[in-house]
Amino acid sequence: MVDEEIPRDVRWAIPLGLIGVAIVALYWYWDHPTSLGLGFLGAGIAAVMVLLYLGLSYSGPKSRLYGLKPLSSRLPAISQPKGHVHFRTKMFWTILVVLTYFLLTNIYLFGVDQATIIDLFASYRAILAGAQGTIMDLGIGPIVTASIIMQLFVGAKIINLDLTDDEDKGTYQGSQKVLVLVMIFIESIPQVFGYITPGAGLVASLGTLSPGNGILLANTIIVAQLVFGCYLVFLMDEVVSKWGIGSGISLFIAAGVSQQLVQGTLSWLPQTTGGPPAGAIPKTIYYLTTLNAGNLASGGWTDILLAQPNPLTALIGTALIFFLVAWTESTRIELPLSHAEARGARGRYPLRLIYASNIPVILMTALLANVSVVTILLYTNPTLAHFPLVGGQWWIGAYPSSAQATALNVSATTPIMGGAWYLQTPNGLASWLLPAINYSTYGNALLGHSWWQGIVHVGVFFGVMVGGSILFAKFWIQTTNMGPEAVARQIEASGMQIPGFRREPRVLRRVLERYIPVITVISGAAVGALAAGADLIGTVGDASGTGVLLLVGIIINLYEAMGREQLMEMNPVLRRFLGGEA
Under DSSP, is residue 350 helix (H, G, I), strand (E, B) or coil?
A: strand
Percentage of the chain exceeding pLDDT 90: 18
pLDDT higher than 80, residue 394 = yes
Average pLDDT over residues 339-351: 67
User: What pLDDT, on a 0 to 100 scale, did the predictor assign at position 2?
Assistant: 46
Under DSSP, is residue 378 helix (H, G, I), strand (E, B) or coil?
A: helix
Residues 415/418/422/427 CA torsion (nearest 10 deg): 20
Spatial distance between the Cα atoms of 120 and 372, rounded to a whole number of angstroms: 8
Average pLDDT over residues 297-303: 79
Residues 514/515/520/526 CA torsion (nearest 10 deg): 120
pTM of structure: 0.78
pLDDT higher than 90, residue 461 = yes
- What burial class does residue 184 get, using C-beta atoms within 10 Å of its C-beta: 0-12 exposed, 13-18 middle, 19+ buried? buried
Spatial distance between the Cα atoms of 359 and 341, rounded to a whole number of angstroms: 37
Per-residue pLDDT reduced to its tens digit, 539-570: 888 777 778 888 888 888 888 888 878 777 76
The residues, ordered by sequence, that sit 6+ positions from 276 with a Cβ below 8 Å of its Cβ are 270, 282, 283, 286, 287, 303
Per-residue pLDDT reduced to its tens digit, 257-275: 888 889 889 988 887 777 8
Average pLDDT, rounded, for the chain: 84
Q: Where in the chain are the domains?
A: 1-73, 84-267, 328-549
Per-residue pLDDT reduced to its tens digit, 218-258: 989 999 999 999 999 989 999 998 899 888 888 888 888 88
* CATH architecture group of domain 84-267: Orthogonal Bundle (1.10)
Number of CB atoms found within 10 A of residue 513's CB: 14
Is there a cis peptide before residue 484, judged by omega within 30 degrees of 0? no
Spatial distance between the Cα atoms of 411 and 409, rounded to a whole number of angstroms: 7
Instruction: Name the band, by pLDDT with cuts 50, 70 and 90, for residue 420.
Output: very high
pLDDT higher than 70, residue 343 = no
Q: What angle do CA 37, 39, 40 make, to 5 degrees?
A: 65
CA 315 to chain centre: 24
Is residue 454 a contact partner of residue 438, using CB atoms and an 8 Å limit? Answer: no
Instruction: Name the band, by pLDDT with cuts 50, 70 and 90, for residue 383.
Output: confident
User: What pLDDT, on a 0 to 100 scale, did the predictor assign at position 1?
Assistant: 47
Spatial distance between the Cα atoms of 221 and 206, rounded to a whole number of angstroms: 11
Instruction: Name the band, by pLDDT with cuts 50, 70 and 90, for residue 170.
Output: confident
CA 536 to chain centre: 20
Least confident of 273-277, 342-346, 485-489, 511-515: 342-346
pLDDT higher than 80, residue 144 = yes
Task: Name the more confident of 503 and 86.
Answer: 86
Average pLDDT over residues 506-514: 81
Is residue 332 a contact partner of residue 349, using CB atoms and an 8 Å limit? Answer: no
Task: Name the more confident of 161 and 418.
Answer: 418
Average pLDDT over residues 51-57: 90
Number of residues written out for the chain: 582
Average pLDDT over residues 136-155: 83
Spatial distance between the Cα atoms of 288 and 274, rounded to a whole number of angstroms: 17
Sign of the torsion angle spanned by Cα atoms 309, 197, 49, 73 = negative
Per-residue pLDDT reduced to its tens digit, 94-109: 999 999 998 998 899 9
Least confident of 214-223, 331-340, 447-456: 331-340
User: What pLDDT, on a 0 to 100 scale, did the predictor assign at position 131?
Assistant: 84
Under DSSP, is residue 498 helix (H, G, I), strand (E, B) or coil?
A: coil
User: What pLDDT, on a 0 to 100 scale, did the predictor assign at position 340?
Assistant: 62
Least confident of 54-58, 152-156, 496-500, 571-575: 571-575
Per-residue pLDDT reduced to its tens digit, 56-90: 898 888 888 888 888 888 888 888 888 778 888 99
Spatial distance between the Cα atoms of 557 and 559, rounded to a whole number of angstroms: 5
Give, for 497, the enclosing helix (H) or strand (E): strand 496-497
Give the single-character DSSP code of 85. P
